Amino acid sequence: MANPKTSTVLTVILAAVLALVMGLYVQLNGEYSAAVSRYEALYEDYSQLQSRYGELERSYSRLAEDYDQLRGRYEDLKKDYEDLRYRYGELRQRYLNLSLKLNSTLVELKELNYVYGLLERNYSRVRAELDRLRAEYGDLARRYTSLSRDYETLSASLERAKALIDELSSLVDLAWPLYDEELITGGFNLAYLSPSSRDLYPFYEWLSDIGWYDAYVSVLNSTLKVPYRVGVLFAECGVENAFYSAEYRAIIMCYDLARRFYGLFVDGAGLSEEDVAEAVLGSLDFVFFHELAHALIDIYDLPITGREEDAADQFATLILLEAERVDALIYTSLWFLLEGDRYLSDLYEIPFWDEHSLEPQRYYNIVCWIYGSDPGSYEWIADALGLPGERAGRCSDEYGQFYESWNVLIAPYVVG
Ligand SMILES: [Zn+2]
């Protein structure tokens, strides 16, 4: 048996060792637990890392695949690039060639442009010329048309003129045996030819009976020096007119014209039988002296300035005024007035041989010259026959001028 006191010390030592061991144990146990939990945490990290490693490995494989693919495509692209580079080289060469050609073409184009400019200017000129020619052609065509019409009218007139000349020559042939054989030195030779138309016969009878023109012709023959025989023939002409024929040296007074005057004065003016005879004779006188003027201009080769027809009218007016035959001139103006009315109202054809002024003009001429020959005495005529004031102012000068010039022209051929 153990002493009690020894047991107690053992117990205390035991207890202390136990407590120490217990404390150590607790400490170790705590450290172990912490290590276990650290291990567990590390293990978890490790698992995570391992799975991420797996993932990364898979990614790596994918990337490697992608890389291979890309590399393949890179190779392809590289090849394409080489091709393109080659083609670029080719194209560049072609571009340079084309540039060169383009430059030379541009030079050519500039030249062509210059030539084109020249041509364009020429074209404008040619075109303007063409337009002008076209307009001229139009004018000419119009003139041609109107000339054709004139030509046709003139041709028809010429035909009529030829027929008239034939007729005139036959009239002169007819009259020739009636010429006065005693007129050796020349002079006017009067003959009345019998008409074949019944309605002209009274005019033939009347004119040959009254001896009016016989008296004129004898005055003319004693007043004027005429170098050859000149016929004064009253005849049927087939036209209402009077003529001087230089070819046949004959004044031809047509009964047809006397008949026309008769008709005009009876129907147009309503004159009495007695007045009609004077009116017809007065107008015939004017016509006779008008034709005589043509005859004298031809015979003496008189230098007439201006229109011969107007000069002939002036001569006839002058002679009738000198012979104090104002009545004849008034009847003549009435004739022109009546013809003028016809001219205005009818399709009155102006005879082709007639180069006279139109009747209304001749009317005012005659009135003007009567008045101009003696304004103091004949103012009433100018008023009564309606001579316009502006014309009246010139009449005295007009009359004075042709009075003077006819006197000068005829003077060398007056007997004595
Ligand atoms: Zn005439």
Q: What is the pLDDT of residues 199-218, one digit of tens each?
A: 999 999 999 999 999 999 99
Whether residue 355 is predicted with pLDDT greater than 60 in this model: the reply is: no
What's residue 158's pLDDT? Answer: 80
What's residue 349's pLDDT? Answer: 43
Find the 145 Cα to ligand 1 centroid distance in Å.
Answer: 30
Whether residue 269 is predicted with pLDDT greater than 90 in this model: the reply is: no
Find the 290 Cα to ligand 1 centroid distance in Å.
Answer: 6
- Between the ranges 56-65, 266-275, 335-344, where is the mean pLDDT highest? 56-65
Whether residue 345 is predicted with pLDDT greater than 50 in this model: the reply is: no
Distance CA 245, CA 295 (A): 8
Write the pLDDT tens digit of every residue in 217-253. 999 999 999 999 899 999 999 888 898 988 888 999 9
Distance CA 371, CA 196 (A): 42
What's residue 382's pLDDT? Answer: 93
Find the 413 Cα to ligand 1 centroid distance in Å.
Answer: 21
Q: What Å distances lie between residue 17 and 7, 27, 30, 207, 341, CA to CA? A: 15, 15, 19, 210, 184
What's residue 352's pLDDT? Answer: 38
Find the 295 Cα to ligand 1 centroid distance in Å.
Answer: 10
Length of the chain equals: 416
Find the 73 Cα to ligand 1 centroid distance in Å.
Answer: 121
Find the 288 Cα to ligand 1 centroid distance in Å.
Answer: 10
Find the 340 Cα to ligand 1 centroid distance in Å.
Answer: 17
Q: What would the mean pLDDT of 346-365 be, rounded to a whole number? A: 61
Q: What would the mean pLDDT of 155-161 be, rounded to a whole number? A: 79
pTM of the predicted structure, to 2 decimals: 0.61
More confident residue, 154 or 69: 69
**Closest listed residue to residue 216, CA positions, set 194, 191, 188, 193:** 188
Find the 265 Cα to ligand 1 centroid distance in Å.
Answer: 22
In this predicted structure, which of 15-24, 253-262, 296-305 has the lowest mean pLDDT?
15-24
Write the pLDDT tens digit of every residue in 392-412. 999 999 999 999 999 999 999
Domain ranges in the chain?
Answer: 93-157, 179-413
Q: What would the mean pLDDT of 311-323 be, rounded to a whole number? A: 96
Write the pLDDT tens digit of every residue in 369-384. 999 999 999 999 999 9
Q: What is the mean pLDDT of the chain?
A: 88
The helix or strand, by DSSP H or E, that contains position 116, with its residue range, turns out to be: helix 4-175
What's residue 157's pLDDT? Answer: 75
Whether residue 341 is predicted with pLDDT greater than 90 in this model: the reply is: no
What's residue 226's pLDDT? Answer: 93
More confident residue, 161 or 59: 59
Share of the chain above pLDDT 70, in %: 93
Find the 86 Cα to ligand 1 centroid distance in Å.
Answer: 108
Q: What would the mean pLDDT of 291-307 be, rounded to a whole number? A: 94
What's residue 274's pLDDT? Answer: 86
**Three-state SS for 191?**
strand
Find the 52 Cα to ligand 1 centroid distance in Å.
Answer: 145
* Contact (Cβ atoms closer than 8 angstroms) between residue 167 and residue 237: yes
Q: What would the mean pLDDT of 4-29 be, rounded to a whole number? A: 86
What's residue 339's pLDDT? Answer: 81
**Three-state SS for 5?**
helix
Whether residue 348 is predicted with pLDDT greater than 70 in this model: the reply is: no
Find the 294 Cα to ligand 1 centroid distance in Å.
Answer: 7
* Contact (Cβ atoms closer than 8 angstroms) between residue 267 and residue 194: no
In this predicted structure, which of 68-72, 102-106, 256-260, 350-354 has the lowest mean pLDDT?
350-354
Distance CA 408, CA 416 (A): 15
Find the 266 Cα to ligand 1 centroid distance in Å.
Answer: 25
Find the 308 Cα to ligand 1 centroid distance in Å.
Answer: 7
Give the model's confidence band at 145: pLDDT under 50 very low, under 70 low, under 90 confident, else very high: confident
What's residue 1's pLDDT? Answer: 54
More confident residue, 17 or 351: 17
What's residue 346's pLDDT? Answer: 41
